Structure 1
Amino acid sequence: MKLWIAVILVIIFVQADARKRQRAAHDDVRERHVSSHPNQVRVGANFEETMVAERPRGRKTSPARDGATPVPRNPCDKVRCKAGSECSLDANNLPNCVCIRECPDGLSVDDAVCGSDNRTYASECDLKRTKCLGKAKKSQRRKMKSLKIRYLGPCKTFTPCRKKELREYPNRMRVWLKNIFLQMYDTPLSEGGLTDKQRHYGRKVYSERERLQEFEQGADHELMEKEFRKFYHIYKYPVHWKFADLDRRPKDKKLSKKELGPLRAPLIPMEHCTKVFFKRADKNRDGKISLEEWGTALGLEAGDIDASLLV
């Protein structure tokens, strides 16, 4: 029992001595600091308050790591600029958004894009930079405001649409719509495939797919027309499906020139005839294609054009 008491007393003595030594060291540091900074010590202030008070004010710094010198934060770190522009510091070290000075070099032809102005740009960065620079000029502001990517790859040179091609356009477009729909049917929704409702309405197209021909580009026009008449009930839904797919902003059951733009992409058959074809399809000359005008132009009977199929 006496041994335990002795051990406890020794521990208490050691702890008290350690606190005494720590307090003495703290006071020694404080005296040295006061002697070297006599004008910075406030009456009644303790050492910690004095040290906080004398910290310099200025640009925020990032926390130091492993004893390294704190790194000043870049004012641009939290600035978000619009497409085609980047953050840059002015003479007063303040952040401003300016047009991208230079896009990456060493790009291949695969990076090229075709703009809505039918001009080929080296990359998406190059197009957005051009748009930014153009918007700064009053004479080009309106034109550049609508500049966007029409499709990936260099711009194609469209040949004039011949009368024969214009007559064949509905058949070739219907075959293409049917083929694309079948491809989308097997694609998961997470990868851009069809919704459950679209699959439901298009189930007949899928179930009869083995009886339908794919028709390679340049296939006989008469054969395509014959198949359309034979499987008219199957071709009907893909025509509605594509209209709904294009009708997005706004969803008003009318297709604007902007919404018809994707039909002029390189993969679309006879894309050089798209503009002429739908210009003729616009019977009321309002600059938009209604569901009725769309369906009629692609060969559907008036009674088979059904807005309830737009899902």
Structure 2
Amino acid sequence: MRSSLLSGRAFRSARRGTIAMSTKLQLLLITLLVTVLIVDVSSAQRRRKYRRRTTTTEAPVQDEIMNMLEADEIAEEAATAEEAEVILENGRNEVGSKQQRLLQDPCMDKHCGAGRVCKNTEEGTAECVCVELCNQEVDPRRKVCTNYNETLGSDCEVYQARCFCDTDDARCRGPDYQHVHIVYYGECRQMPMCKEEDMADFPRRMRDWLFNIMRDLADRQELSSHYLKMQREAETNHTLRWSNAAIWKWCDLDGHPHDRTVSRHELFPIKAPLMALEHCIAPFLDSCDINNDHKITLVEWGKCLQLDEVSLLFSYFSRE
């Protein structure tokens, strides 16, 4: 009986302990829940405050940046306008200075041909007059042989003689001298006859000479980029060796007017320096004018140098 009573008391005591423990756990959970809610509310308030602070500070910063950029643009426009004004003013000064120099020296913009010089007149204008005195050349290579087989001291004397006749000057040597011109450089001499075997070999020698001249000019960087490219092609491709050199020289001779033909007059730069050294150059160049119209076409030039016409024309039109 007594043991049963003790067992009942122990059961009731254990039950009360369990209930107390459960109550404590519930209180602890409620406390944690309240704490979490308080923390969330505080975080939300801080975020709202941060947003308000960000919103109120970003706008002034952006405005300040835009103001700075606008100020820079205004300053840049002002500097550009000032620079343009300076350039315009310099241009006015340059034009004014040139006009002033022209008033002081009208010959500044006057171009006179060979054998003539510019002279200021009493009226303040410029005119071209014949050269009064040519410089005395001491180098015999500067002497020239004319088409009248007459040796003159320099090319200046040839152009002076033409000018005297063109202007009806009393110093004109005769009406024929109105057409006097240089045949070759050096003193006049009896040219040996060009033998048939020399003439037969001359095209080959001429081709070699043209290619070597083109190569020398390329080495001295005196060729334009276009002809420099042709010269390099000729170095690596032997089929273009002669044709490219021939095209280069033919185009070089075709000067004024640029009409895709070479006149007898335009042959002067190649004929005059070589006449004293190559007695076959004159008859060779004469033979290039196949139809005797005083003009040498590219086809005639190629035949004269014994080049294949198709290859020559292909190289010529490929470069354009």
TM-score when normalising by structure 2: 0.53
Alignment of 1:36-185 (within 5 A): 78=106, 83-85=114-116, 87=119, 99-104=130-135, 107-109=138-140, 111-115=142-146, 117-137=148-168, 143-149=176-182, 152-155=185-188, 157-185=190-218
Conservation of the 8 A alpha-carbon contact between 2:274 and 2:281: no
The residue aligned with 2:32 is: none
1:201–1:309 CA contact under 8 A, matched in 2: no
Deviation at 1:106, TM superposition (A): 7.7
The 3 A distance-change label for structure 1 pair 259 and 197 is same
Secondary structure at the aligned position of 2:269 is classed as helix
Give ranges in structure 1 of 5+ residues lacking alignment: 1-75, 209-230
Give the aligned partner of residue 15 of structure 1.
Answer: none
> 1:177 deviation in Å?
0.5
Query: What is the Cα deviation at residue 201 of structure 1?
Result: 1.9
2:62 is matched with none
**Are the counterparts in 1 of residues 289 and 300 from structure 2 also a CA contact under 8 Å?**
yes
Secondary structure at 1:305 match in 2: helix
- Does the 8 A contact of 2:137 with 2:154 survive in 1? no
| Cα distance change, pair 178–101 in 1 and its aligned pair in 2 (3 A) | closer
Q: 1:175 to 1:109 in 2, by over 3 A?
A: same
Preserved contact between residue 262 and residue 296 of structure 2 (Cα < 8 Å): yes
Q: What's the CA shift for 1:243?
A: 0.8
Structure with more helix by fraction:
2
Instruction: Please state if 1:285 is matched with 2:316.
Output: no
Q: Which has the higher contact order (CA 8 A, sep 6+)?
A: 1
Matches of 2:227 and 2:195, distance apart in 1: 35
Kept in 2, the 8 Å contact 1:263–1:271? The answer is no
2:317 maps to 1:308: yes
Q: 1:287 & 1:263 partners in 2: Cα distance?
A: 16
In the other structure, the counterpart of 1:186 is: 219
Structure 2 unaligned residues grouped into runs of 5+: 1-103
Tell me: CA distance 1:252–1:122, structure 2 relative to 1, closer, same or farther (3 Å): same
State the distance in 1 between where 2:276 and 2:115 align: 33
CA distance in structure 1 between the partners assigned to 2:318 and 2:277 by the alignment: 26
Report deviation, 1:100.
4.2
Q: 1:183 to 1:269 in 2, by over 3 A?
A: farther
Superposition RMSD on alpha carbons, in Å? 3.9
CA–CA distance in 2 between the matches of 1:142 and 1:309? 48
Q: Does 1:198 align with 2:227?
A: yes
**Residues 292, 142 of structure 1: alpha-carbon distance in 2 compared, 3 angstrom cutoff:** farther
Q: Report the count of equivalent residues.
A: 210
